[in-house]
């Protein structure tokens, strides 16, 4: 009599954990067992940015771990602005790997998470043996002082990074209506809801105005439900936005801290996924063109058509497939 085909056991659901790091604690959500894949979100999100990737990576035999970066969610929120410098984020990531009982990991990030993932791979290649970057391509440290560069962008209007850099200024705009501001920001950067080409850019702020004055209003992108928006808003209403915004306020400090790595390539195995309608990708097209020199270990690079900024959510299934293909080691040649 034929035996029934075994049915694979379902992967246990995600688990929340707090781990100690030198700067305090990091909240993480983990799922699955196997090689460690550390997932880093961007602004203004949380571990939830990777909610579609966690179960898929776990089912494929990976230990998928999405963190709340310092300043977000249940992770520590130091009062000192300098505590959000890039060196501190890299130290957090190393400490998370160690707390999980591992020596090495693949690190994957989106938006600010992409930049933090790249810095982690650059500074600690002994720990981060492969790096995936979504949205923001790798550009080696160096160049002009960032605040000088930001001040030169936009002419009479202020570039949003400079707007975010002044302590308390963006908080005064966002925190009276966190949910409304987030809804507008998410919609304005999503391919299915962003303003048509030629409209005034939300990334530039006219004198005496607010960034949100140019946001799309009254609609949510397809990837975001009202309940999910409530979750995001509830977290930021509890924590405030200062910890998240302090990442922008360390641009010059990072420039100084990383001077020893000016022009340095990342040599580990790497992946880039950009988006056709994401300013983070299009503004940095020169960095993508430089990948043969700056990412000599690049094994896959994709630009997703008709995709906006929120790549892991807007194109979850496609991103999952790309990640699984990239994470699967190539078969040895006979």
CA–CA–CA angle 91, 93, 96 (5° rounding): 110
| Residues 6 or more apart in contact with residue 134 via CB below 8 angstroms | 108, 109, 110, 111, 113, 114, 272, 273, 274, 311, 312, 319
- Cβ atoms of 60 and 327 within 8 Å: the answer is yes
Within a 10 A sphere around the Cβ of 77, how many other Cβ atoms?
Answer: 18
> Which residues are the active-site residues?
111, 309
What are the counts of helices (DSSP H) followed by strands (DSSP E) for the chain? 15, 10
Which H or E run includes 113?
helix 112-123
* Spatial contact of 14 and 54, defined as CB atoms under 8 Å apart: yes
- Output the CA–CA distances (angstroms, integers) from residue 327 to 129, 270, 271, 330, 334, in the order listed: 12, 10, 10, 9, 21
CA–centroid distance for 306 within its chain: 20
139 within 8 A of 294, measured Cβ to Cβ: yes
Give the C-alpha distances (Å, rounded to integers) separating 291 from 20, 140, 267, 268, 295: 35, 10, 11, 13, 5
The two most distant CA atoms of the chain are separated, in Å, by 80
Phi, psi angles (nearest 5°) of residue 315: -130, 55
User: Within 189-241, where are the H helices?
Assistant: 226-239
């Amino acid at each position: 009599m034929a035996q029934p085909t075994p049915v694979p056991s379902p992967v246990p659901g995600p688990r929340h954990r707090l781990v100690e790091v030198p700067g305090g604690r990091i909240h993480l959500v983990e799922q699955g067992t196997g090689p460690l894949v550390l997932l880093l979100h961007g602004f203004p999100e949380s571990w939830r940015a990777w909610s579609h990737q966690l179960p898929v990576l776990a089912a494929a035999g990976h230990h998928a771990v999405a963190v709340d970066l310092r300043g977000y969610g249940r992770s520590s929120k130091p009062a000192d602005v300098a505590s959000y410098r890039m060196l501190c984020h890299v130290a957090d990531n190393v400490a998370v790997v160690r707390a999980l009982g591992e020596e090495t990991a693949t690190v994957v990030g989106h938006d600010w998470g992409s930049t933090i993932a790249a810095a982690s791979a650059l500074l600690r290649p002994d720990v981060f043996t492969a790096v995936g970057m979504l949205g923001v391509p790798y550009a080696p440290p160096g160049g002009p002082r960032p605040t000088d560069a930001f001040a030169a962008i936009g002419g009479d209007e202020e570039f949003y990074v400079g707007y975010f850099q002044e302590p308390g200024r963006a908080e005064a705009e966002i925190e009276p209506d966190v949910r409304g501001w987030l809804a507008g920001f998410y919609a304005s950067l999503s391919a299915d809801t962003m303003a048509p080409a030629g409209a005034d850019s939300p990334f530039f702020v006219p004198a005496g105005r607010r960034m949100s004055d140019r946001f799309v209003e009254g609609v949510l992108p397809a990837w975001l439900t009202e309940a999910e928006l409530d979750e995001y808003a509830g977290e930021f209403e509890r924590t405030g936005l200062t910890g998240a915004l302090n990442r922008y306020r360390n641009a010059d400090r990072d420039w100084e801290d990383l001077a020893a790595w000016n022009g340095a390539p990342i040599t580990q195995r790497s992946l880039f996924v950009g988006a056709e309608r994401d300013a983070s990708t299009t503004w940095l097209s020169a960095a993508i063109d430089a990948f043969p020199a700056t990412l000599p270990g690049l094994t896959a690079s994709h630009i997703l058509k008709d995709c906006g900024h929120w790549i892991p959510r807007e194109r979850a299934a496609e991103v999952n497939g790309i990640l699984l293909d990239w994470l699967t080691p190539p078969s040895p040649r006979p």
